[in-house]
Amino acid sequence: MTKKWWQDEVIYQIYPKSFRDSNGDGIGDIRGITEKLDYLKDLGVTMLWICPVYQSPMDDNGYDVSDYMALAPEFGDMDDLDELIREADKRDIKIMMDLVINHSSDEHEWFQKALEDPESRYHDYYIFKEGTKRPNNWRSIFGGSVWEKVPGRDEYYYHTFGKKQPDLNWENEELRKVLFDMVNWWLDRGIAGFRIDAISFIKKDLTWADREPDGADGLAKCAKATRNMPGIGEFLTELKEETFARHKCVTVAEAAGVPYEKMEEFIGENGYFDMIFDFRYADLDIASGSEWFKRLPWTVKMMGAMYFFLRGVPFIYQGQELGMVNFERTSMDQFNDLSSIDQYQRSLEEGLTEEEALRIVNLRSRDNARTPFPWNAEKYGGFTEGTPWLDMTEEYPKINAEEQKGKTGSIYEFYKEMIAFRQHGPYSRTLIEGNIEPVGSGDDVIAYRRFTEEESIYCLFNFSGEERTETLPNTGMVPIWGNLEETDMDGKTIKLQPYQAVLIKENE
């Protein structure tokens, strides 16, 4: 594959509502991001992916857009965004926006017009079915039926996610054209590209037939009939040709469930997108062969290195560079996440006690990743001068940016050094562009090789709390990078300390 410009990027994901509040209303905003650009430059990231800041009733934290070409006032206005793009550019940092075009908010003007008048052109921008009962038994991703009744009419509308997120009808050519115009309008503003939300859901099974129920609610997961369905390729090709292909931009698709044999179609030389997220890693923390909520005690630095040196553009989520931790909420009132609230209800329906349901929601809630960013040990971590919209983690007086910056051995300095090593070190070409293959190793060790025709780097990661000895692939190997000071090797073996990450290569 020919090298693409975006392969040299290290991308940092910002959840704007929780990053930095510039005006004391408790909600992070665009000017807050601009304030912190020097921090991001120091860390070494080259592109920011900003979660949705579009106008929205925020029923699903901005993944419910009510106007694609306006910003939510709590985040700022277009001038603020232009300023961010300009100031970021001065620091060689690019801006990637989120794109949510599988569905809109029910408060979008199109949907409101569709509800008011079934004869309106906007009615066909969405998926409506006439009738007095639900058209089928599909379950939405956030729980409950995918169908919601239209008040005052014998009609239902379809939603893959929340009921305030009606799906857009991609079968309608006029709608597609309107969406493409909007995408081009954004790219013309100077953004570097898009992370594209839930895009594998845009093609539905048009028979709308019932599926075999798979839960106590008598419903069936809608993903079986709405994700990566035959015909989706035509929509994705058109989207690319009408928009992305006309700009120098980068696209990352959230496309869960794409099988490996389809990767070429999605992200090959002529794929629909440049990259996709591989969700197979998302459940890596669940111990295999045990109850799903049993967690593995892995530590941040080793995990961070294991994924960072894989082939592909690394993404860092805000706070990851500080080793931010989950929270423990004691009551459901403390949750904001729509999906957590639905999961809690479903867990109760499945027969769990309130205590069990709360514990499970605590472990996997998206709110864990949405707690405000801790900049320092002051009140509310320097995130806001007001009251934060969501409680901080209890650990912020210990785990914060000011505490870690410049401190030897901190997770922040570890990330900074690791980014610099990948981007600007003597082995950058191999680590960025090189091929990858797995290397045989003991059960608790993950090992892979990054290589070009000239160079071979072995990356080893001990996932256990005990020493592990591995046979070296060749004699004369030397360590070139690691998370510990010492690397214990003789001519034939390497003794890995608990949670050690190390990169080694042949001595020249």
> Does the annotation count 8 as an active-site position?
no
Q: How far is the CB of 384 from Ca ion (least distance, A)?
A: 7
Q: How far is the CB of 387 from Ca ion (least distance, A)?
A: 12
Residue 77 interacts with Ca ion (CB under 5 A): yes or no = no
Tell me the site size for Ca ion, rule CB under 5 A: 5
Residue 385 interacts with Ca ion (CB under 5 A): yes or no = no
CB nearer to Ca ion: pick between 386 and 465: 386
Q: Candidates 22-30, 200-208, 447-455, 497-505: pick the segment binding Ca ion (CB under 5 A).
A: 22-30
Q: How far is the CB of 380 from Ca ion (least distance, A)?
A: 13
CB 354 within 8 Å of CB 341: no
For 224, list phi and psi in degrees, rounded to 5. -60, -25
Residue 80 interacts with Ca ion (CB under 5 A): yes or no = no
User: Which residue among the candidates 197, 337, 367, 470 is catalytic per the annotation?
Assistant: 197
Q: Distance of alpha carbon 233 from its chain centroid, rounded?
A: 23
CB nearer to Ca ion: pick between 70 and 472: 70
Give the footprint of Ca ion on residues 226-285 (CB under 5 A). Answer: none
Rounded CA-CA distance 306/290 in Å is: 23
Q: Which residue has the tokens 């503003």?
A: 189
CB nearer to Ca ion: pick between 25 and 506: 25
CB 12 within 8 Å of CB 46: no
CB nearer to Ca ion: pick between 147 and 389: 389
CB nearer to Ca ion: pick between 16 and 44: 16
Burial of 85-108, coded b for 16+ CB within 10 Å and e otherwise, reads beebeeeebbbbbbbbbbbbbbbb
Q: How far is the CB of 23 from Ca ion (least distance, A)?
A: 5
Taking CA atoms, 154 is separated from 62, 118, 130, 131, 151, in Å, by 30, 12, 6, 5, 8
Burial of 403-438, coded b for 16+ CB within 10 Å and e otherwise, reads bbbeeeebbbbbbbebbebbbebebeebbbebeeee
CB 98 within 8 Å of CB 52: yes
Residue 25 interacts with Ca ion (CB under 5 A): yes or no = yes
Q: How far is the CB of 72 from Ca ion (least distance, A)?
A: 11
Q: How far is the CB of 69 from Ca ion (least distance, A)?
A: 22
Q: How far is the CB of 338 from Ca ion (least distance, A)?
A: 22
| Joined tokens for residue 331 | 């009551």
Q: How far is the CB of 16 from Ca ion (least distance, A)?
A: 9
CB nearer to Ca ion: pick between 44 and 388: 388
Helix (H), strand (E) counts: the chain: 14, 22
> Between β-strands 445-451 and 435-438, what pairing exists: parallel, antiparallel or unpaired?
antiparallel
CB 296 within 8 Å of CB 290: no
CB nearer to Ca ion: pick between 193 and 372: 372
User: Which residue among the candidates 148, 254, 337, 403 is catalytic per the annotation?
Assistant: 254
Residue 27 interacts with Ca ion (CB under 5 A): yes or no = yes
Residue 29 interacts with Ca ion (CB under 5 A): yes or no = yes
Rounded CA-CA distance 260/275 in Å is: 13
Q: How far is the CB of 31 from Ca ion (least distance, A)?
A: 8
CB nearer to Ca ion: pick between 27 and 236: 27
Residue 21 interacts with Ca ion (CB under 5 A): yes or no = yes
Rounded CA-CA distance 432/421 in Å is: 11
Residue 72 interacts with Ca ion (CB under 5 A): yes or no = no
Helix 354-364 with 338-349: angle, nearest 10 deg = 150
Q: Candidates 18-26, 294-302, 396-404, 499-507: pick the segment binding Ca ion (CB under 5 A).
A: 18-26
CB neighbour class for 486 (10 Å; exposed up to 12, middle 13-18, buried from 19)? exposed
CB 281 within 8 Å of CB 256: no
Beta bridge partner(s), residue 495: 469, 488
For 341, list phi and psi in degrees, rounded to 5. -65, -40
Residue 23 interacts with Ca ion (CB under 5 A): yes or no = yes
Q: Candidates 16-24, 90-98, 298-306, 389-397: pick the segment binding Ca ion (CB under 5 A).
A: 16-24
Q: How far is the CB of 191 from Ca ion (least distance, A)?
A: 21
Residue 64 interacts with Ca ion (CB under 5 A): yes or no = no
CB nearer to Ca ion: pick between 7 and 23: 23
CB nearer to Ca ion: pick between 26 and 44: 26
Taking CA atoms, 348 is separated from 282, 355, 356, in Å, by 25, 10, 9
| Joined tokens for residue 413 | 């300095």
Contacts of 200 (CB under 8 A, 6+ apart): 227, 228, 232, 253, 254, 255, 256, 257, 258
> Does the annotation count 197 as an active-site position?
yes
Residues of the shown chain interacting with Ca ion in the complex, contacts defined by CB under 5 A: 21, 23, 25, 27, 29
Give catalytic residue positions: 197, 254
